[in-house]
């Protein structure tokens, strides 16, 4: 099974990793150009704006003159990033002088964007023809949809509502999160557990990444999906957009997206339309740093009792990962954090820091204002229990003794220390322990000393 590492990087990194041809295709869309511009580090942003109306290649030397000497490292980062995204192309002429030229398509599109402002390929529908849900309703809808999806993901039999995703699509998402053996019921893997404790944005990003990566297998060009998703992030939250304006690929994509809660599909008498939710519009913003605070629901008391004011089954499942659920009331889940439940979690590869940060991030508004949000004795105890598991450290090693002279012993000690491989030494008894992998070098060294 391929090990899928969960790294919540941002959208733009994914764009940057596309092959050159695809990237050039993406830049045909002005919205992508703008999204790229927004994502750039500040200095790179400035360069793009500064070069926007320069048609000729600019020598690297004159670019360097724009920054003070101590800004050079940032300058390099900015230039590297721009080249990586193929916004700038580097050319070396016969005199070995480097010069940079801006991607023509990108340049023209940005110029247009600057002059005319962004015009979406579709206008929001007139509010007289549709009844718009309020923004709260839409947000609730988005979260509900997302929760359904997650619940379906971790235990397919538990959610009653069926999603549009085919079971093969679901398998793709589950790959890396669940381990599947033929006869046993599937179990969450280490990454799966970590996945559940992540923030919604990071989770969403992971799923979208898998979705895009899998696009090729479904016969869809990943670039199309990326451009559509970026475009979507420029739509206005809660506005209705007519579904007729979408092409076929986008139409298929939007159905999947509605299952994830990114858009809400609605049908009127004649037409149908979609409403982007907050999840969609924040997607292209660098995901890791927009920690939009959700309404929390967990209260942890100093006696290790945990109260979760939630009606969600998913929350209950998440708590079960590291706590012992004692009662499930219609709107309240009561649990206790104890040694056994935590050992279970640690066995599954969850770390104490993840648990603590989960409790802190999802704190009930009543306790969220307090400092600390989670009682210190509880967080300390969670960390202590974890360190209790790692009381004994073992390392393969070589033990050396019976040194003929103090000098030789000191020399060997220094030699091992240089490699950072000295684990333990006792100068009185003239004994030392060195990492196992250094044995061959040590033997060589000792042989040379003898001569």
List contacts with another protein (CB under 8 A). 338-340, 388, 391-404, 408, 412, 423-424, 426, 431, 433, 436, 439, 442-443, 446
Cβ 446 to another protein shortest distance, Å: 6
Contact (CB, 8 A) for 24 and 107:
no
Which H helix or E strand runs over 335?
A: strand 332-336
**Residues 386 and 351 sit within 8 Å (Cβ to Cβ):** yes
DSSP-assigned states of every residue in 248-287: HHHHHHHHHHHHHTSEEEEE-SS-EEEEE-HHHHTSSS-G
CA distance 33 to 89: 16
Q: How far apart are CA 425 and CA 440, in angstroms?
A: 19
Residue pair 439/405 in contact (Cβ under 8 Å)? The answer is no
Q: Give the dihedral of Cα atoms 255, 257, 263, 264; nearest 10 deg.
A: 40
Q: Which of 380, 381, 352, 378 is nearest to 367 (CA)?
A: 378
Query: What is the largest distance, in Å, between two alpha-carbon atoms of the chain?
Result: 96
CB 291 within 8 A of CB 173: no
Residue 422 tokens read as 């000295």
Distance CA 379, CA 266 (A): 45
Q: Is residue 225 a contact partner of residue 32, using CB atoms and an 8 Å limit?
A: no
Do 261 and 277 touch, CB atoms closer than 8 A? Answer: yes
Nearer to another protein by Cβ, of 347 and 376: the residue is 347
- Kindly state the smallest distance separating residue 374's Cβ from another protein, in Å: 23
- The least distance separating another protein from the CB of residue 315, rounded to whole angstroms, comes to 20
- Cα–Cα dist 11/430, whole Å: 57
**Shortest spacing between CB 347 and another protein, in angstroms:** 10
Residue 179 bridge partners (DSSP): 187
CA distances from 171 to 146, 161, 177, 316 (A): 17, 17, 10, 23
Q: CA distances (Å), 160 to each of 22, 149, 151, 186, 418, in order?
A: 40, 11, 10, 19, 62
The rounded distance, in Å, linking the Cα atoms of 368 and 362 is 8
């Amino acid at each position: 099974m391929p090990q899928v590492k969960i790294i919540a990087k941002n959208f733009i990194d994914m764009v940057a990793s596309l092959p050159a041809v695809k990237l050039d295709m993406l830049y045909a869309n002005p919205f992508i150009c703008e999204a790229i511009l927004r994502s750039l580090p500040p200095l790179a942003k400035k360069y793009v704006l500064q070069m926007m109306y320069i048609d000729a290649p600019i020598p690297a030397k004159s670019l360097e003159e724009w920054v003070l000497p101590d800004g050079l490292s940032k300058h390099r980062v900015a230039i590297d990033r721009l080249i990586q995204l193929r916004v700038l192309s580097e050319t070396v002429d016969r005199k070995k002088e480097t010069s940079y030229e801006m991607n023509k398509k990108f340049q023209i599109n940005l110029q247009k964007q600057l002059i005319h402002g962004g015009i979406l390929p579709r206008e929001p529908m007139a509010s007289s023809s549709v009844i718009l849900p309020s923004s709260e309703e839409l947000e609730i809808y988005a979260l509900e949809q997302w929760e359904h999806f997650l619940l379906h993901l971790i235990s397919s039999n538990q959610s009653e509502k069926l999603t549009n995703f085919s079971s093969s699509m679901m398998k793709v998402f589950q790959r890396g999160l669940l381990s599947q053996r033929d006869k046993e019921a599937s179990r969450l893997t280490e990454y799966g557990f970590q996945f559940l404790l992540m923030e919604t944005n990071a989770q969403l990003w992971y799923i979208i990444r898998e979705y895009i990566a899998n696009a090729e297998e479904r016969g869809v060009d990943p670039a199309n999906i990326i451009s559509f998703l970026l475009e979507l992030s420029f739509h206005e939250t809660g506005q209705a957009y007519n579904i007729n304006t979408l092409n076929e690929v986008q139409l298929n994509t939007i159905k999947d997206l509605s299952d994830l809660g990114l858009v809400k599909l609605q049908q009127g008498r004649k037409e149908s339309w979609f409403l982007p939710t907050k999840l969609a519009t924040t997607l292209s913003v660098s995901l890791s740093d927009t920690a939009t605070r959700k309404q929390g629901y967990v209260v942890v008391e100093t006696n290790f009792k945990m109260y979760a004011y939630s009606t969600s089954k998913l929350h209950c499942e998440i708590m079960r990962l590291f706590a012992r659920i004692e009662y499930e009331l219609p709107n309240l889940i009561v649990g206790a954090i104890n040694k056994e439940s935590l050992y279970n979690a640690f066995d599954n590869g969850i770390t104490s820091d993840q648990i603590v940060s989960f409790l802190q991030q999802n704190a009930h508004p009543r306790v969220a204002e307090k400092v600390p949000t989670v009682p210190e004795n509880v967080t300390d105890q969670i960390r202590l229990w974890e360190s209790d598991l790692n009381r004994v450290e073992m390392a393969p090693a070589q033990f050396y003794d019976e040194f003929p002279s103090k000098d030789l012993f000191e020399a060997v000690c220094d030699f091992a220390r240089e490699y950072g491989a000295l684990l333990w030494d006792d100068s009185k008894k003239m004994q030392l322990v060195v990492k196992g992998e250094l044995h061959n070098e040590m033997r060589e060294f000792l042989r040379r000393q003898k001569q």
